[in-house]
Each structure stands twice: as structure tokens, then as C-alpha cells.
Amino acid sequence: MKKYKMETVVGIFVIIGIVCLGYITIKLGNLSIMNRDSYSLSARFTSVSGLKTGNAVEMFGIEIGRVVKLAMDQKDQVAVVELRIQKGVEIYADAIASVKTSGLIGDRYVQVDPGGADEKLKHGDSIIETESAIDLQEIIGKYAFGDVESKPSPAIKENE
């Protein structure tokens, strides 16, 4: 009887340990089992270079959500980004979503300008206005290899 009592106590501690480990994993990994505290929006970009699932969505420099899915729409030739936004954060129909870089070579994130229209976006709606990321490597490459066009300024043209 003592043997079964000891095995039962050990089994209970193992189960409690597994439950605690699962809880910590979900909290530290920013995962959510139930999405009651957030809603989903989508945005279409011509390029989302460097953006990954799990990257932050920010408004006014404050994290308001996460990128949950990246997909391609081959018909329209755009990238579709699904954003999970915290409940209580109001984003309007004229909002602008931009892919930005934190620091010079940091991680990418989506910056949302909330807009100010009368109509608010609801679960499943799309942010229409978007700005793709600036590819710094492409710009440096063009400059380094002389592929940048040099156009004379209008002031110089007028004086000639």
C-alpha cells in the first residue's frame, strides 16, 4: 500500500509540473489558446521583406498586437499579412499600415497609424492603405554600383 501511495504522490507532482511548464511556455511565447482578447485584421503589401510571423504590431510606439500569418495572393501579386490586435485598440477605416525596421538593421515590425474616420475596423476587415518596407540593401547596392540616376535640380535648370 505504501508503494502505491508514493507512486500517486510522484504522479501528481509530475502532472502539476507539466501543467506549469505548459502555462509558462504559452505566456513566454506570447501564444494564446483562446483569442477572446484580440481581433484579426489583414493588410496587403507589395513587399514584406524581413517580416516574420510573431513580429510586433505597434501604434504610437506601443505594441498592440502580433503578425500571425504571412501569405501570398498570386492573382493580385501582393503579400497578405494577418495581424492579431488587442481588444480595446480602435483602428479606423482610413488607417495606414507600414512595414518598419527597429534600428538600422533590427527586426521588422508593422507600424499602424490608426486614422480618424468615422467607421472602425472590425474582426476580419482589411487595412486598405499600406506602405512596404524600404530595402536598405537594395538602396546601398544601387548607390555603390552607380545605378542611381542623378537628376539636376530644378534650380540649376532655370539658371542655364
Name the 3-class secondary structure at 106: coil
Q: What is the mean pLDDT of residues 66-88?
A: 91
User: Domain locations in the chain?
Assistant: 1-31, 38-144
Min mean pLDDT across 24-33, 135-144, 145-154 is at 145-154
Which residue bears the cell 532655370? 158
Sheet holding 96-101, edge to edge: 126-127, 38-45, 78-86, 62-73, 56-59, 108-113, 96-101, 129-131
Reported residue count of the chain is 160
- Which pLDDT score is estimated for 67? 92
Give the Cα separation of 62 and 135 in Å (integer). Answer: 24
pTM above 0.85, yes or no: no
Contact by Cβ (8 Å): 83, 67? yes
Q: Specify the pairing of strand 129-131 against strand 96-101.
A: parallel
Q: How many helices (H) and strands (E) does the chain have?
A: 3, 8
- Which pLDDT score is estimated for 159? 42
Give the CA angle between residues 60, 29, 79 to the nearest 5°: 60
